[in-house]
Amino acid sequence: MSVEILLASGRRAIERLMVDQCVVRRDAGTTYDPETGYATPNTTEVYAGKCRVQQQTASAGQRDVGEATVLLLRLEVQVPMSVVGIRVDDVVEVTASVHDPDLPGRRFRVRELAHKTHATARRFGVEEVTS
């Protein structure tokens, strides 16, 4: 069996596990209302579609931000290999989840990108900031 056939089979298999939905957005600057002076952040949608959220280990890193202490949770988000252009600092929002009712609405910031020759899914490390 050829590598191409094995890789295509692996990609189909992992995509069957991508039962959640997410949107990946990128910061596109800020617009200021001239009358009120309020700032409105603008974003660009990079991807919307199926995904899978994985947490390798249940660990969190504590960080002090000013006078507040926050926990940074490390997770991995997987999307189909056809998805391109994800960058560090993009924000992933889970919009629907079949098996975890706590996932929809959660937002994660992309912190690590992974690339390899025979990948079955596009995987990136994300961080959820909690307080």
Instruction: Supply 11's token pair.
Output: 């990609």
Instruction: Tell me how far apart the alpha carbons of residues 6 and 44 are, in angstroms, rounded to a whole number.
Output: 35
> What is the pTM assigned to this prediction?
0.83
Q: Residue 109 is part of which domain span?
A: 3-130
User: For 15-70, how does the pLDDT look when each residue is reduced to its tens digit (9 = 90+)?
Assistant: 999 999 999 999 998 999 888 888 888 999 999 999 999 987 655 555 566 677 76
- Residue 3: pLDDT band (50, 70, 90) is very high
* Domain count along the chain: 1
d(CA 71, CA 34): 37
State the DSSP string of 89-129: T-EEEEEE-SS-TT-TT-EEEEEEE---TT-SSEEEEEEEE
Q: What is the CATH number of the domain that holds 56?
A: 2.40.10.270
Instruction: Render pLDDT for 92-104 as a digit per residue (tens, 0 to 9).
Output: 999 999 999 999 9
